[in-house]
Structure 1
Amino acid sequence: MPLHIELIGSLAAVITTVGWIPQILKIVRHRETASISIVTNASLMLGVFLWLLYGVMIGSWPVIMANGITFLLILTILGLKIRYS
C-alpha cells in the first residue's frame, strides 16, 4: 500500500484512539459516570473489537494497534462506570 495512504490511516487511528483519553481523565477526576451510557460504550467496544479482528485478518498494523488500544480505553471507561456507579 502506498506510504501516503498508510500515513492517513495511521493519523486517523491516532486521533480516534487518543480521543478517549479526555473522557477517562474526566471520569477519574470527578468520579462521576451518570452521564456515561453503558449500552453505547459496550456497543462501541464490540465494534472496535470486530475492527481489531478485521485488522488481524488483513494484517494491517495501524488497524490492529489503534483498535487494540481503543478497546482497552473503552474497557477502562466501562470499568470506571461500574466502579463509580
Structure 2
Amino acid sequence: MNHLNYIDLFGFSAALLTTIAFLPQLYKTWQTKSADDVSLVMLILFITGLFCWIIYGLKINSIPILVANIITFIFNFSILVLKISYIKNK
C-alpha cells in the first residue's frame, strides 16, 4: 500500500464514523414520531455545511469527502423532513 492509500483509509474511516453517527438520531426520530429535541436551526446550518463539503469534495476530487458528506446529507435531510412533517401534524 502506498502513502496515498493510507490517507484514503483514514478518510474512509472518518467518513464511516461521522456518517453512521447520525443513524441513531434518524432511527429515534422515525420511531418516536418526534423531533422536538432536534434544533431546526442546527439542522439547517449543518445541512448547509454538508452542501459546502460536497462542493469542496467535488472540486478536489476526494471520494472519501464526497461519500461521507452525501450520505450524511441524506440522513440529516431526512431528519429535517421528519421534523417539519411532525411539526405540521401537531
State whether TM-score is above 0.5: yes
Q: 1:56 aligns with which of 55, 58, 70?
A: 58
Note the 1:1-85 alignment, pairs <5 A: 2-85=4-87
Unaligned runs of 5+ residues in structure 2 are none
Letter in 2 for 1:67: N
Q: Specify the code of the residue in structure 2 equivalent to 1:27.
A: T
The amino acid across from 2:51 in the alignment is F
Cα distance in 1 for partners of 2:35, 2:60 equals 36
Q: What is the aligned residue count?
A: 85
Q: Deviation at 1:3?
A: 1.1
Query: What amino acid does structure 1 have at the position aligned with 2:54?
Result: L
Deviations 1:20-69 (A, max 9, x none): 11101001111111111010011000001100000000001111111111
Q: What is the alpha-carbon distance in structure 2 between the residues aligned to residue 79 and residue 10 of structure 1? A: 27
Identity %: 36
The amino acid that maps onto 2:33 is: R
Q: Name the amino acid aligned to 1:29.
A: Q
Long gaps (5+) in structure 1? none
**Structure 2 length as normaliser, TM-score?**
0.90
Give the TM-score, by structure 1 length: 0.95
Distance in 2 between residues matched to 1:47 and 1:16, nearest whole Å: 14
